Amino acid sequence: MDYQNQQYHELCNLHLGDDYFLSAKDKDGEIQIHLRQFQRFTKEGKLYPTKKGLYFSPSDWLVFESYVETVDHAFQSRASLTADQRWYIANDIHVTVNTSYPTVDIRRFWKPNGDDSDYVPTKNGVSLNYRRWDALKDVVKILREFIPELDNAAIISNVVPFNNAMQEVPLVHSEDQASHVIDTEYSRYDQMY
């Protein structure tokens, strides 16, 4: 891949508190929504993205959007939870409300031993405290102002792994899904089933 010729166009960069941002980029015609921690590496204080974070395709983002209210309810009532709550979003992205720590963890997971093992978290992701989670909820509401293509996007697949079993969830359809799907990247689950 020729990384020098890739064209990035920043669509938005929305602050979530501290050095956390939700940003959207158009990379050679492909929209990527990044949830990432930044760090200051220079004396001038310029912020640079770190590896602490992940990106969503538009389709993945729509799934995440559909879970925000459910995750928020679990997070607000986490003191009464008897076990951690985890939701599969797409492309190995999971959202976890931890009963031990006051955070919402949005992270990629993987199966180290193939299909027979449990999912294990990777370092790719972020943990959001109450303040950052509230900021993300607010940003979710306005992101479509910066990315109007999300209004015409659709969720690609309705088959997702949950607790190591494949389950079907409702699809989000646009008026003309076939011509408006802007996510062309299929997860390995789409290819398998």
Domains of the chain: 3-166 (2.30.31.10)
Confidence (pLDDT) at 154 = 79
pLDDT band at 156 (very low <50, low <70, confident <90, very high): confident
Tokens 């190995």 sit on residue: 92
Q: Is the per-residue pLDDT at 191 higher than 70?
A: no
Instruction: Write b or e for each residue in 6-42: b if 16 or more Cβ atoms lie within 10 A of its Cβ, otherwise e.
Output: eeeeebbebebeebbbbbbbeeeeebbbebbbbeeee
Confidence (pLDDT) at 21 = 94
Tens-digit pLDDT profile for residues 5-42: 456 678 889 999 989 999 999 888 889 999 999 888 87
Confidence (pLDDT) at 8 = 67
Beta bridge partners, 125, equal 107
Confidence (pLDDT) at 143 = 92
Q: Is the per-residue pLDDT at 160 higher than 70?
A: no
State whether the Cα torsion 191-107-12-61 is positive or negative.
positive
Q: What type of residue sits at position 113?
A: N
pLDDT band at 157 (very low <50, low <70, confident <90, very high): low
* 27 vs 95, higher pLDDT: 95
Average pLDDT for 53-57: 93
* 62 vs 1, higher pLDDT: 62
Confidence (pLDDT) at 158 = 46
Average pLDDT value over all residues in the chain? 78
For residue 100, the SS3 value is coil
